[in-house]
Every structure is written in C-alpha cells, then in structure tokens.
Structure 1
C-alpha cells in the first residue's frame, strides 16, 4: 500500500516558525501528512431484465434463460450464483423494469399479446474490476444496468484513520530530524500536536489548495474519488518540536 507525505515548514503559513528567543528552547513546527487507500468492503451493481413470451410460462422460461446468462458471466469472474440477490424495493432499476413492463403491455395488440416477467437483481462483487467486467458483458447483451456502488468497510476506515495519524507523526518527525541537523541541533521532544494549525485554513485544506494550484482542480477530485472504489483516508497534522 503506497503512502506519500510531504512536509511544509510553517513559514509557508506564517513567519517565524523556527526561532530562538533568548534562552528559550528552539521550536520547529512541521506539517506532516499521511494517507492510505482502503479497499471497498463490498461492490454492488443493479441489473434488470425482462422475460417475454406469448404465455406466462414462456415469459418465465425466457427470464430464467436471462438469469442463467448472468450466472455464466459471474462464473467467468470466479463468482457463484450466490452473488445474485434481489434489488431493493425502492431500486431505480426495479422501477425501470416495471415501467418497461407497462409500456410493453400498452403496445401489445389483442392479436399478438405479450406476457412479460420483469426482474431487478443486485449483484455483489469483491472488487470493482469484477463488477466492471460483468457490467460490460451484460451491456453487450442488452441488460439494463444500474449504478455501480463501492461501499467502504467502516471498521477498516476507522482503523486506517488511526494509521494515517501515526504515519503523519512519523513523517513530521523524520523531517524535523533533517531540519534539526541542518541547524546543528537535535529533536528533544514533541510539545504540541494539532489538526487545525495556527492559520485560517487547516493543513488538510492548504494541501488541497496546493494540489489544485500545481496539478489543477481535477487532481483534487481524483484524490477523493478512486476508480477502484477505494476510500481515500488522509490526515494532516501540525507538530511542534522542541530542539536542543
């Protein structure tokens, strides 16, 4: 899992970040960053289809065949039929299937009646790559495809939040050691840790502004929304060190 950190001397925010005042200890404030991407706990995709026939039995056989194609597509991704469930009652895909059923009934003539058997399913995947592959294949076969959703594992996200805080502290400490060495000093202790800093903007907000200025607004958007459905957990801390 790749992580990245960058450190800004607080002089970028306010003057006088590292100073000696008489006999007072020298202090240094560092903005330390840590972040990590947490894989989604579950990825879901709604799929709709309508079996059709001249009789109810024919319509049900047709819908069973359409379901079997979904099972085959899942099998190609190493997934079983257990990945197929019913879509929620308030599912947009379910509403779309019901509307299509109504439209088919209105357009059918007495001479050529059409019986329909609509279904809306919820497919569950381990990764977005599996979901994308299945979605692309089903689109080719004219299934109605709903929204792909990547749901985070809250427990994992909470654990990651603690992890990135520790990472931010380590990164800040490492850079403080570099600055202290250049000043002919050493890091004695941490005297303050803050998530808000001393300026009008929090360190995290300042980081996003810097990212937008250097790489454009889309870079900020990409930092939050991952193509693989991962949840981006990031933390910026202002750490004050005492140097001796």
Structure 2
C-alpha cells in the first residue's frame, strides 16, 4: 500500500504544468474608485465651399428616336456650357438617362401611346459656390429644363470632424469634472473612449439663421449658410 501511494505521488509530480489545476486570476477590486460614463457631442462650424446640383434636359416627341435625338443635342450644349464655365470633367458625372412612353387614358379603353419622353441629367459639383448662380442661368439658356439642388457641403470635412472630436472630448472632461466635484471626488483618468456612429461622418446641419447670400450680378442667388459637423463620443472616467 505504501509503495502504491509513492507511485501515485510520483506520477502526480510528473504531470505537466498545463494539466495541473490553476486558481483563476481575480481582478483587483477598486474599493476607493468610481466609474463614470459620459456621452458628449462636439461640433465644428464651417461655411460650405462645395455645391452639388443635378441638371438635365427633358424632351418629348412622337417617336422614341426623335425624343432621344433632341435630348442628346440639347444635353450636349448643356455639358459644353459647364466646361466653358470652368467646371472640370471630374466634377461632371452622368446621373440618369431615361426613355419612357407617354400614354393617353380614356374610359373603357386600353392606354394608348401618344409619344415618348427622354431625359438625361448630370451631377455637377461646383468648387466655387459664388459662381453657382451664374452657371445655373447659363445651363437654362442652353436648354436645361430640370434642375435639382443644390446640396452644400464642406470640402475639408475630415479636418472639421477632427476639430469636432476634440471639442467632444473637452466637453466630456468638463462634465466629468462637474460630477466629480459634486460628489466630493476628483477625475483620476480616462478608462476608455468610444466614438459613436462608427466610421460614418455625421450629417452636416445647416444653420440658416446665419446664412450668407452669394449673388453674382443678376444671376440666381444662392445662400451658402453654415454647417455644423458633429462628433459624439462615449467616455468612461475613473473617479477617486
């Protein structure tokens, strides 16, 4: 019996360390600290410096071929007017081309085709917002009869968003200091920072009360306004 016990003891001592039971690690308990979660939003205000519009031509004719031909001729003049105004080729992009039959409806009769409608539109990006109005007028003069927009945006959005992120952290810190002071504690450090919304930039929000009117001679006026680019962060602080 004694020999068997010794053999078992020897085998047990020869087991690898991985097979031996190890007591789980226990996270230290912060008995003198408090966690505080703060959600804060920061913003950076910019005057939009890019205007994007959609301009096109709608043509109607008894036949599909005639509608497309007329539409192509007028659209060629529209694009030429854009290039003449100094809009770069990279800022002109075909947005949509459509050809649809037009119907006449009568009671108790099937719809009858009366002609065709052809449409062609381009998305145009203006890097000089002040010239947008005069260019729109030139487009109409060259046959454009469909205009949508403008969509105003900020070219250097990344730099503005970084400014908004910095502002968000500053606001979060100030709020944490307020809570800590009210609780008779102090902010020890930041434990974690999470930017809400993933990688998608926040949508710009126009501030029309501070709009700046852009007008060239008697051209179509365009109010550039201002936009707030926003960033939201969730910050966890350690208070002591």
- The alignment's TM-score, normalised by the length of structure 1, stands at 0.43
Name which one, 1 or 2, has greater alpha-carbon Rg: 2
Greater fraction helix: 1
